[in-house]
């Protein structure tokens, strides 16, 4: 939920900073305040802000003083982090506010003991120590089950927000393409007298009221407002029509609280081997992405996001996956705005976990109930934060698990069942790299497969790799003919400016040839419902012999300049179409 009404104190800017490699901060009570000459900027990861911090993993401390005006003395104060970690512990004026695990979901704590009309101090302890039990797992900075750099810090915005004692705690919005609106609103009003709950639907620019209604005499509890709204313009990639749903708690003429959601009316379903948006089949053209940028680390500032979305539109993309964690609110706000279809992925990433654990260790990890509950918790946080977005059309519960192992498949089944229980309105998938060996594909609504034949295997021979891939794809489709198949990853690394005739690995020419041949062959398969190139832009990774500081599979460089493949892909995406011609499906590329 967003709010124009609630007072806020933004804590973005320069903070005192101190790394704690010897873990003395707790013993010396740095939670009450500490001395340091070092500064760090928030929001951003700490690593690239100072070369001395770049390779540091472990505990680091943040401190900032802020002023609270006297007129806020009768309000409830909350401190909100939109993303920090991996583990975060927060103190206000020396008192513990709370602690959280996970870097990519927001969390908030009620703040007691705040001093109005005076300065206050927030101290934050961040611990990004790599652990196998983390989501995602790691044994060390450079030995991980994920191929992206293990940043640490307060990656996303942090602020204080103030509410009345009677406030809206949560809202869940179902807005179908036919105009059917259902809103579930949780109110907390304590011992306050009953209030009126007003629901107003505005157009995108807030210049006209589309609909309004009132539920009278509400208190603490859950309330449902349901109506059919006439004249609604549906949200879709071509016309991403947005509305503002404003929820207010009113007592007489006084507004107690006001929050809003930017919503779009659209329907999602999977049937007959296709994905439908507003009852029209869609073909997903796009990318796996990462939130990664020089110096800022895991935070993409507004100008970077704006450039990214215009570049994706220019290339002809209409979708992306939030690989391999839920993205920032600003990131997904733009997806709603630009009409992108988003697969929202959790931070359960297990790429090459076999390097960290043997089969017995993997079975033990995925069979651990505490680990399962931790996974459920972070997925629930992800869904709660982004459930009302029209752009989110599918959940990916994990990336590249060792799903050829039955015990892992059972874990995936439990996660799938859990997601369906808390949100049955969207299809569920996971990105598999086990192909025909995968024993968990039967549990998902949409099959998502990653292929790198011609790069990690059959290297140097794209044609041979494609032949094997197509054979495996046909076998998967034959086994699950009713399920749509999405190719969530395919690509090759390219070092900018390196060229080769004939195309050889690591050259821009090989990358362009790889993407072109993959797309031309995959698009001929009627059961393929989408192609996501890996990756949109180069991104930083752990150090290993297969990486040159970055994963260079981006069609753009890390600073968003095009490689040869960007031009090739633009021609392919913009000329790629499917349309019905009588009973025949015509496919152009």
Distance CA 79, CA 328 (A): 17
* Pairing mode of beta strands 485-489, 447-450: parallel
Q: Is 539 helix (H, G, I), strand (E, B) or coil?
A: strand
Of 141, 128, 151, the closest CA to residue 543 belongs to 141
482 tagged catalytic: no
| DSSP 8-class letter at 442 | G
Secondary structure E strands in 36-134: 39-42, 59-68, 76-81, 87-92, 95-101, 107-111, 118-127
Length of the chain: 589
* Pairing mode of beta strands 319-321, 341-345: parallel
Q: For residues 513-537, b (16+ Cβ closer than 10 Å) or e, as one string?
A: bbbbebbebbbeeebbbbbbbbbbb
Q: Cα(first)–Cα(last) distance of the chain, in Å?
A: 41
Q: Are the C-beta atoms of 378 and 135 separated by less than 8 Å?
A: yes
Secondary structure E strands in 22-73: 39-42, 59-68
Residue 497: is the preceding peptide bond cis (ω within 30°)? Answer: no
Active-site pick, 161, 345, 489, 513: 489
82 tagged catalytic: no
Q: Describe the chain by its helix, strand, coil percentages, rounded to 5.
A: 25, 35, 40
Q: Are the C-beta atoms of 503 and 513 separated by less than 8 Å?
A: yes
Active-site pick, 82, 261, 291, 400: 400
Distance CA 224, CA 211 (A): 16
Distance CA 336, CA 242 (A): 8
Q: Are the C-beta atoms of 426 and 376 separated by less than 8 Å?
A: no
Q: Which residues are catalytic?
A: 400, 489
């Amino acid at each position: 939920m967003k709010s124009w009404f609630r007072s806020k104190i933004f804590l973005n800017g320069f903070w005192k900073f101190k790394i704690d490699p010897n873990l003395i901060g707790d013993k010396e009570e740095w939670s009450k305040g500490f001395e340091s000459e070092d500064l760090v900027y928030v929001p951003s990861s700490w690593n690239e802000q100072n070369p001395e911090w770049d390779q540091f993993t472990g505990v680091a401390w943040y401190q900032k003083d802020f002023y609270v005006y006297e007129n806020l003395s009768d309000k409830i104060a909350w401190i909100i982090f939109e993303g920090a970690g991996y583990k975060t512990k927060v103190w206000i004026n020396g008192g513990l506010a709370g602690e959280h695990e996970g870097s990519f979901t927001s969390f908030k704590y009620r703040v007691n003991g705040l001093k109005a009309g005076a300065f206050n101090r927030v101290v934050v302890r961040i611990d990004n120590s790599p652990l196998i039990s983390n989501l995602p797992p790691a044994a060390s900075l450079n030995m991980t089950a994920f191929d992206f750099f293990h940043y640490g810090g307060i990656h996303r915005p942090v602020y204080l927000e103030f509410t009345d004692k009677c406030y809206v705690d949560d809202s869940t919005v179902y807005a179908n393409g036919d105009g059917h609106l259902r809103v579930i609103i949780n109110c907390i009003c304590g011992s306050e007298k009953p209030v009126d709950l007003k629901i107003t639907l505005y157009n995108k620019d807030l210049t006209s009221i589309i609909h309004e209604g009132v539920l009278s005499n509400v208190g603490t509890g859950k309330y449902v407002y349901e109506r059919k709204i006439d004249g609604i313009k549906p949200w879709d990639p071509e016309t991403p029509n947005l509305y503002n749903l404003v929820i207010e708690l009113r007592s007489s003429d006084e507004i107690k609280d006001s929050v809003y959601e930017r919503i779009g009316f659209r329907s999602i379903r999977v049937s007959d081997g296709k994905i439908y948006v507003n009852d029209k089949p869609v073909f997903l053209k796009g990318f796996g992405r990462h939130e990664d940028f020089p110096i800022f680390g895991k935070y993409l500032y507004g100008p970077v996001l704006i450039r990214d979305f215009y570049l994706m539109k220019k290339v002809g993309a209409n979708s992306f996956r939030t690989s391999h964690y839920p993205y920032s609110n600003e990131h997904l706000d733009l997806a709603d705005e630009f009409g992108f279809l988003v697969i929202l992925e959790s931070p359960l990433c297990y790429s090459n976990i076999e390097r960290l654990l043997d089969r017995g260790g993997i079975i033990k990890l995925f069979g651990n109930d505490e680990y399962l509950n931790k996974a459920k918790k972070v997925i629930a946080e992800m869904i709660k934060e982004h459930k009302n977005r029209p752009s989110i059309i599918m959940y990916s519960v994990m990336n590249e698990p060792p799903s050829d192992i039955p015990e892992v498949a059972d874990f995936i089944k439990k996660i799938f069942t859990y997601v369906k229980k808390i949100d049955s309105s969207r299809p569920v998938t996971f990105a598999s790299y086990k192909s025909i060996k995968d024993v968990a594909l039967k549990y998902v609504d949409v099959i998502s497969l990653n292929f790198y034949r011609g790069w990690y295997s059959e290297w140097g021979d794209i044609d041979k790799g494609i032949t094997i891939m197509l054979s495996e794809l046909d076998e998967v489709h034959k086994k699950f003919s009713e399920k749509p198949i999405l190719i969530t990853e395919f690509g090759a690394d390219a070092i900018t400016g390196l060229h080769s005739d004939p195309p050889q690995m690591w050259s821009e020419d090989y990358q362009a040839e790889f993407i072109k041949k993959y797309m031309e062959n995959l698009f001929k398969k009627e059961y393929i419902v989408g192609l996501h190139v890996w990756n949109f832009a180069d991104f930083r990774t752990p150090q290993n012999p297969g990486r040159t500081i970055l994963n260079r599979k981006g069609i753009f460089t890390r600073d968003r300049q095009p490689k040869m493949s960007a031009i090739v892909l633009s021609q392919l995406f913009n000329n790629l179409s499917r349309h019905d011609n009588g009973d025949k499906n015509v496919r152009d590329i």
